[in-house]
Amino acid sequence: MKKVITIMLVVIMLLGMILPAITMAAEPDKDLNRINQEKKAVQDKISEKQEQKQQVKKELKQLNQQLQQAQNELENTEKKLKTTNENLEQTKKEFEKAQQKMEAQNDILNERIRAMYKNNSTLGYLEVLLNATSFSDFISRFDTIKTVVNYDFDLLTSLQEQRDLLEDKKEEIQAEQQRITVLKKQLQDKAQEVETLKVSKQDYSNKLDSDLAAYETRAAQLEKDSQQVTKMIQEAQRKQQQTQTKQQEAQTKQQQTQTEQQQQMKKDSKDNATKDNATKDNANRGSMGGRLLWPVPGYTRISSPYGWRNHPIFGRTSFHTGIDIPAPTGTSAIAAGSGTVMYAGYMGGYGNTVIIDLGNGISTLQAHNSSLLVSVGQKVSRGQVVARVGSTGNSTGPHSHFEVRVGGNHTNPLPYVR
């Protein structure tokens, strides 16, 4: 009866230890999932805004070219208009001079006619001829009169033709002046339209810059997801160790209460010591280089090693916390060692991720998978297929991102798998 009561008390104590630990472990996973989902949304927004920014840059460049072309055309048109105005003014002056010459010639002709009538109302070219003293004088007078009349006629005709030509030229220049004025107004309207559109695009570009700055600030904060993973692993392993310690203590106490013989107690103590030594030996072997399996069988090339590198997506220098192993989508990704699945789900920039606790503070992380074949809490064996290679999260192509973490902190995985 005492043994039954003792066993029930031990079971109750164990449940009291395990259930809170399970509840507490679930909370970080829930928070981490929320953070990773938010990080993915922010990263998608950054990509979207960057694409929009590039498009606006192209449009602004085109608008600047259009505006420059419109300004050049407007400048050339203004030069043409200036030249046309100058030609018009010159033509007006020439027209006025021709008009003045014709009026002066008319005045001379009229003055001559008035003089003839003033001296004698019957005096004219005929009387000049009749007053000739001889035939040769008559011929001379006739030639003189003919020359004067022809001169007056030719001069008046030439002046009239010049005036008509200038009038036509004046009308042509005025028409050209009007055409250029209309063209200038159209170019001014076009330049104003392009300038207005440019200002609108620039305002939109400024807004995109502001949005990008806000998203990048948020992304920088969310980029601590790796640190969150580290804390989660450390906390989970710490609680697991505490639970195991309490379970071992409870089991030891139960064994002590179930036996009264000193020899059996010594034997149990010896067995426990042997078990502890075996556990330590396994831990030592598990932490030695080459003791883990290569995570992607058949694909040994490393496209990006562990350490500092220029990020292929964000273009800035950052620390690569694992190794990248290129492989076709759907290729099998295996457990590098036996252990328990601590996390299986989508994790921000890591994409579809599986984290396996191998015990003794060592865990592995495999990311960017196209699909996951295990779930949280599942026991997996060394070499078991746990995921399929893909390109989810922040990835430029199908590959497996593989990490080894000791105490939750990332370390170079190569010594563990080679």
CA atoms within 13 A on the CB side of 357: 25
Tokens at 1, concatenated? 């009866």
Helices (H) and strands (E) in the chain, counts: 6, 12
Could you give the C-alpha distances from 5 to 8, 21, 252, in angstroms and in order? 5, 25, 16
Query: Tokens 């076709």 correspond to what residue?
Result: 328
Distance CA 251, CA 244 (A): 10
SS3 letters across 284-344: HHHHCCCCCCCCCCCCCCCCECCEEEECCCCCCEEEECCEEEECCCCCEEECCCCEEEEEE
Identify whether the C-beta of residue 295 lies closer than 8 Å to the C-beta of residue 334: yes
Which residues have C-beta within 8 Å of that of residue 198, sequence separation ≥ 6? 60, 63, 64, 67
Torsion angles phi and psi, residue 354, rounded to 5 = -130, 130
Could you give the C-alpha distances from 180 to 174, 241, 354, in angstroms and in order? 10, 90, 74
Torsion angles phi and psi, residue 68, rounded to 5 = -65, -40
Single-letter amino acid, residue 326: P
The DSSP bridge pattern shows strands 332-334 and 362-369 to be: unpaired
pLDDT along the chain (418 residues), means of 10: 49 49 50 68 80 83 82 82 82 78 74 63 63 85 83 78 81 85 84 84 84 77 70 78 77 64 48 41 40 96 91 73 97 98 94 96 96 97 98 94 95 94
Distance CA 212, CA 196 (A): 24
Closest CA to 166 of 82, 80, 107, 102: 102
Closest CA to 300 of 326, 334, 322: 326
Exposed / middle / buried, residue 234 (Cβ in 10 Å: 0-12, 13-18, 19+): middle
pLDDT of residue 405: 96
Q: What is the pTM of this model?
A: 0.41
Exposed / middle / buried, residue 305 (Cβ in 10 Å: 0-12, 13-18, 19+): middle
User: Which residues make beta-bridge pairs with 318?
Assistant: 309
pLDDT of residue 85: 84
pLDDT of residue 119: 57
Instruction: Tell me which H or E stretch contains 61.
Output: helix 2-119
Distance CA 321, CA 354 (A): 15
Distance CA 358, CA 335 (A): 10
Tokens at 184, concatenated? 């200038």
Q: How many CB atoms lie within 10 A of CB 231?
A: 14
Exposed / middle / buried, residue 277 (Cβ in 10 Å: 0-12, 13-18, 19+): exposed
Tokens at 132, concatenated? 């000739």
Cite the DSSP H helix spans in 223-332. 225-258, 262-287
Concatenated DSSP letters of 249-260: HHHHHHHHHH--
pLDDT of residue 358: 96
Closest CA to 308 of 299, 317, 300: 317
pLDDT of residue 32: 61
| First-residue to last-residue Cα distance in the chain | 56
Domains, the chain, ranges and CATH?
29-227 (1.10.287), 307-411 (2.70.70.10)
